[in-house]
Amino acid sequence: MDVIGRLARQNAQKLVEKKEEREKASYDTSFITQKGLAERALTDAREFVAKIREILEEGMGREFLSGI
The mean pLDDT value for 5-11 works out to 82
The mean pLDDT value for 14-19 works out to 87
**pLDDT of 49 above 90:** yes
Instruction: Determine the Cα–Cα distance for residues 24 and 51; give it in Å rounded to an integer.
Output: 40
Q: What is the mean pLDDT of the chain?
A: 86
**pLDDT of 34 above 80:** yes
* Sign (positive or negative) of CA dihedral 18, 20, 26, 29: negative
Q: What is the pTM for the complete model shown?
A: 0.56
